[in-house]
Amino acid sequence: MLSLVTTPQDLDDRFRETLAALPAVARRRDPADPVSDDAPLTGAQVLDLFDAQVTSRQLDLAGRWLRSFGEGFYTIGSAGHEGNAAVAAALRPTDPALLHYRSGAFYCVRAAQAVAGPASTADPESPKSVPQGSVPPGSVSPDPAQPTERSTDPERLDDPERSTDPEPTDLQPTGAEPPIGGFAPYADAARDVLRGMVASSQEPIAGGRHKVFGRADLAIVPTTSTIASHLPRAVGMGLAVERLRRLDSAGRRTGAGARVGSGSAAPWPPDAIVVCSFGDASVNHASATAAFNTAGWYDHAGLRIPVLFVCEDNGLGISVRSPEGWVEATLRARPGIRYFSADGADPVRTYEVAAEAAAWVRRNRRPAVLHLRTVRLMGHAGADAESAYRAPAELTEDLERDPVVATARLLVDAGVATGEELLARYDETGWQVRRLAEEVLGEPKLASAADVVSALAPRRPVRVARAVADAAAQASGPGAGARAEAFGGKPPELAGPMTLAQSINAALADGMLDHPQMAVFGEDVAAKGGVYGVTKGLRDRFGAARVFDTLLDETSVLGLGLGAGLAGMLPVPEIQYLAYLHNAEDQLRGEAATMQFFSRGAFRNPMVVRVAGLAYQEGFGGHFHNDNSVAVLRDVPGLVVAVPARPDDAAPMLRTCLASAAVDGSVCVFVEPIALYHTRDLYADGDGEWMAGYPEPGAWVAGHVPIGRARVYRVGSADDLTIITFGNGVRMSLRAAAALAEEGVGTRVVDLRWLAPLPVADIIRESSATGRVLVVDETRRSGGVGEGVIAALVDAGYVGAARRVAAVDSFVPLGPAARQVLVSAEAITDGARTLLAR
């Protein structure tokens, strides 16, 4: 049988056999006493850990049972990793946690901590103390002579007709026997997990969208990745927590903190640390490497990052083994990160080391990693047949290190409980979990597309417009003095016509004034002011705490933004070139855009990512500096993608993005056409018609640009042709329209401005007005923006003529060769003539 321990029945049978074989207890120990000499935990607290571990184990068994008849949809469990219960007990319930998918016992403990209420003044992070309340009260009451306090709601916890009294025993204890049935504090956690397994719409965090560990009131941030892409976010959270702590101590904090579902603020305590768990195979992933490197880089630079990484090492990534010693060597070699290690099969030592590690991080505000050795029981998931790649002897060895069995042995050896009593607790918890599983089966599922996407990316345009109006009122009223000081007495509206880069710079400065928690960061943005000067002078005006350079790693830049937004800041990271975003795009797709979706808005990571992009740079580049690929951005559900072409659009669009991020938690990508940064002329050299004045605050409301609204230029009669375009295409199309006007052709040029969501209503209206549509797409013909425009026309039943002019499906080559694959004003004119000739 041991060669086939991939089934719930095998594991359950083995557990029962082991507990039945445990020796009799010769002498009872008072549960209020340390479980052993100098141990940091009492017998009662170890019993609580055992109950949390058993609840997690029974949830795994229930998940396989639900799946056996098609009612369960998630079977990756925590069996073998239950030692993380001691890690949770060693932390404070207000420490934000990002947990990987084998964190069932951790989640149970954290949920019980919330039920228990405020802990006592004893510090669980002092490894030599015996903390009272650091492990949440479970079935063991403070007075061992009194019965356990249990819920009076039979539907939530117990069947009142089911006896929970232990069988009589001949054992004569010196202290009170431990009561049976310590499931009560973990019932809510069990229900949460079971609801996730069955995709119940009543699941408290994702609402049936995914099975995750997360709850806002538990400070557990949901993570849906399996390959450590949440680690960069954890570093960003650590950086933000420390920054906000320093602002708190200086009395200058004005931010709202982390958002909870009700919209109120729930900032973490000033001395909070961030905990982030992951598996051993994930240490090899690029995102984990980026996170470790960034944490160490900042530590080396003297900037504190209070993050405790927890690597739960079971030696396997599905079927691929981690080479012996590799994980430890890798973690120990990380500069700037303190290394701790423990065996998850030893709950006392795990608690002691975890408390020591947490105390070190909390005291020093520096990163550390806890290397927790675990085993994996029942395979990777329900469909995983371990016997295909693991020998029977290896499986047997893992069974011998079952952490739940190890905790049971400790309790029996210490005289806190007998094997029979612990088995009774196990059975009682199993019965309660199975009963809860049957209850949640009948709960509703998400039943419509509207239900599924309701939490994806809320759009409240009226509130966004009101936020812009409030900013204008502040800038022209109470904040006028601070604004004048920030601009050196010369506000941008008095500076005359501006280029695109200058307009963005001024709007960033106004944004910093309007949003005290806004921070601008990225490669070269501070001292240098950006490679194109777009952030020039911002550090001098607002200080190095709000405008700062990062290391050269796009994953880390976005991770810092994700964590900062989650902590209550308004991050504006810069990605130096669009081509470099592709190194890190999963931070947008898998992390940023999914946060509200998988938390029903309980958590959000507002962010405006500035990206220098698109092509047409003269005399510089090649494909890394002239990237015209935006398909990956438009494919991310809920992501806002803005492309300002003109200076007089750039400032209001950036204000809209900042307001949308602050109001709705939006994730916006602000793609700035590099070739237009410093463009001054439109039709002829020296005409200055591509420049525009910066509006004074009193004009911001009238000039507000809502998300998803296009801009229309009318040339001549504007009755003959509609050109739909964006970015560099706007300037080229206006030049083409001028040439066509000399031939008597009236054109309306539609600047999309927003690539996601597309301004569909404006597209349909302006296309129907002429019946001839030329889509000018500077991105590629395959996967480009033009495909979306044409699809929108078809979906709306447009019956007029349509044609595309798009870039060739090619990377952008160096020098004059680029002209062979990119769209030109001449190609637009020729395409228009062909369309008009039909």
How confident is the model over 210-266, as pLDDT tens digits? 999 999 999 999 997 668 899 999 999 999 998 887 765 544 433 333 333 333 344
Nearest Cα neighbor of 678 from 734, 620, 627 is: 620
- 398 and 406 Cβ atoms separated by less than 8 Å: no
pLDDT digits (tens, 9 = 90+) for 552-568: 999 999 999 999 999 98
Between the two ends of the chain, the Cα-to-Cα distance in Å is 77
Q: How far apart are CA 288 and CA 282, in angstroms?
A: 7
Question: Does residue 379 or residue 443 have the better pLDDT?
Answer: 443
What mean pLDDT is predicted for residues 648-653? 98
What mean pLDDT is predicted for residues 691-715? 97
CA atoms within 13 A of residue 739's CA, in its CB half-sphere:
17
**Torsion of the alpha carbons at 394, 400, 403 and 407, rounded to the nearest 10:** -170
User: pLDDT at position 390, please?
Assistant: 86
Nearest Cα neighbor of 550 from 522, 587, 580, 520 is: 522
Residue with tokens 């709007």: 507
pLDDT digits (tens, 9 = 90+) for 312-327: 999 888 888 889 999 9
Task: Write down the catalytic residue from 285, 371, 380, 625.
Answer: 625
* pLDDT category of residue 355 using cuts at 50, 70 and 90: very high
Q: What 3-state class would DSSP assign to 342?
A: strand
pLDDT at 418 over 90: yes
Total-model pTM: 0.89
Catalytic annotation present for 625:
yes
What mean pLDDT is predicted for residues 602-616? 94
What mean pLDDT is predicted for residues 426-448? 95
What mean pLDDT is predicted for residues 625-639? 91
What is the share, in percent, of the chain residues with pLDDT greater than 70? 88
Query: Which helix H or strand E contains 393, and what residues bound it?
Result: helix 392-400
User: pLDDT at position 619, please?
Assistant: 67
Nearest Cα neighbor of 666 from 727, 551, 783, 756 is: 756
Query: Which helix H or strand E contains 87, and what residues bound it?
Result: helix 84-90
455: Cβ–Cβ under 8 A, 6 or more apart, which residues?
207, 209, 596, 597, 599, 600, 601
* pLDDT category of residue 618 using cuts at 50, 70 and 90: confident
User: pLDDT at position 152, please?
Assistant: 32
pLDDT digits (tens, 9 = 90+) for 776-816: 999 999 999 999 999 999 999 999 999 999 999 898 888 88
Average pLDDT of the chain to the nearest whole number: 88
* pLDDT category of residue 166 using cuts at 50, 70 and 90: very low
Q: Report the range of poorest mean pLDDT among 81-90, 382-391, 633-642.
A: 382-391
Omega prior to 757 cis, within 30 of 0:
yes
Angle subtended by helix axes 8-20 and 43-68, to nearest 10: 150
User: pLDDT at position 383, please?
Assistant: 78
User: pLDDT at position 235, please?
Assistant: 96
**Torsion of the alpha carbons at 715, 719, 720 and 725, rounded to the nearest 10:** 60
pLDDT digits (tens, 9 = 90+) for 107-157: 999 999 987 765 433 456 654 443 433 444 333 332 323 333 333 333 333
